[in-house]
Structure 1
Amino acid sequence: MRNPYIIGVFLAAGKSKRMGQNKLALPLKGGTIGSLSLQTALLSHLDHVLIIERTEHASLEWMGAPYHSPPFRERWSLHVCQEAEKGQGHSVSSGVRKAESMGADGVVILLADQPRLSVDHLNALVAMAPVSFAVSSSLGALTPPIYFSSACFPYVKELKGDEGARSLLKSGQLGTGAVLEAKTSAELKDIDTPEEYDIVRRLVI
């Protein structure tokens, strides 16, 4: 019996409105917010990573040179969501449609602004396949990364607007899944504002 083929859907199509500039390119711990988040995905047991962007000519300067070269370059590909401007739900559903076309047995929805996410946590989430879904949790709050099996794809593909994957969990449509508690609450926190960035920068340098 073969192992399930699991693709990461790495959401990098946001506008960083609350930050006032491209937050993925902001420096952090020898890299950038985006590159540290991507590094975790590429070093994990995910079989491939789809980077979801708004345009084919999206600037991936935040990524850093190492990830444009072997062996990392073979681990990811760029997927353009034409409707990303309409909200995160469109990026999620577009990414899942692409992953499905690539033969994915499951996907993990990842945020590009979670630079403190650990490889161990992501691998533990991947290892939960083939449950229907598995969601990360911190102090009772459900948050990405989230694993969805192919059985959930019909529902995830219907997301639109600002609906995130968490809305499906609240709806009860997906049945019973698993919850993976993070070892520390800090690793699941995303970075949206200058204040949050300043706090993280002081902690990780």
Structure 2
Amino acid sequence: MIGVFLAAGKSKRMGQNKLALPLKGETIGSLSLKTALLSRLDHVLIIERTERASHEWMGAPYHAPPFRKRWSLHVCQEAEKGQGHSVSSGVRKAESMGADGVVILLADQPQLSVDHLNALVAMAPESFAVSSSLGAFAPPIYFSSACFPYVKELKGDEGARSLLKSGQLGTGAVLEAKASSELKDIDTPEEYDMVRRLMV
């Protein structure tokens, strides 16, 4: 199973590249990536806008063993058009690599635990499995290969959650997060300050 790690956003609400902001001795992006690399995912596909974009936030340890063989970079040429393009492009690439399923991950979820991600991976071969906190769905989301035709059609700002709301994927599973903070993504300076205080 391949993780599709979405790191191609513009960080508009933050006003600067949020993935490169310092957090707990690393960066928001590198902490989020570490969880994916330490999980039971077979491989992590990092979706970026350019070949060099990840150098702004990815720490040196991730370019060396044992991590380096665990990830590869995929440039989404249409990332500027919205997250839907990054998701569909990543799933197309994962499919070409022989993936029997994918987990859609956000690069700005540094509080996500390896345990939660592994539990999601273990839910295969469900059609899909979505994370939830207090009744609200959020990434990470697992999709089996049966869902790929639908996920590959995402465009614009449509995220993977839009497919769940449409009902076209049928019935899947829901994985409740043990702590609501695990699924929080960081979009604004206020959210960053709050997470920075919590993650000391």
For normalisation by structure 1, the TM-score amounts to 0.97
Q: Distance in 2 between matches of 1:57 and 1:141?
A: 34
Query: Aligned to 1:63, what secondary structure does the other structure show?
Result: coil
The Cα shift of 1:30 comes to: 1.1
Contact map agreement 2:47 2:90 (CA 8 A) in 1: yes
Query: Aligned to 1:121, what secondary structure does the other structure show?
Result: helix
Q: Deviations over 1:110-165 (max 9, x none)?
A: 00000000000000000000000000000000000000000000000000000000
Q: How does 1:55-70 map to 2 (within 5 A)?
A: 55-70=50-65
The Cα shift of 1:25 comes to: 0.5
Q: Deviations over 1:55-80 (max 9, x none)?
A: 12324231101000011000000000
| Aligned-residue CA RMSD (Å) | 0.6
Q: Structure 1, unaligned stretches of length 5 or more?
A: 1-5
Q: Structure 2, unaligned stretches of length 5 or more?
A: none
- Percent pairwise identity: 92
The Cα shift of 1:15 comes to: 0.6
2:120 alignment counterpart? 125
The Cα shift of 1:188 comes to: 0.4
Q: Distance in 1 between matches of 2:67 and 2:177?
A: 26
Q: Deviations over 1:89-126 (max 9, x none)?
A: 00000000000000000000000000000000000000
Query: Aligned to 1:136, what secondary structure does the other structure show?
Result: strand
Q: Distance in 2 between matches of 1:75 and 1:13?
A: 19
Q: Which runs of 4+ in 1 moved over 4 A?
A: none
2:132 alignment counterpart? 137
Contact map agreement 2:79 2:85 (CA 8 A) in 1: yes
Contact map agreement 2:48 2:54 (CA 8 A) in 1: no
Q: Distance in 2 between matches of 1:75 and 1:62?
A: 17
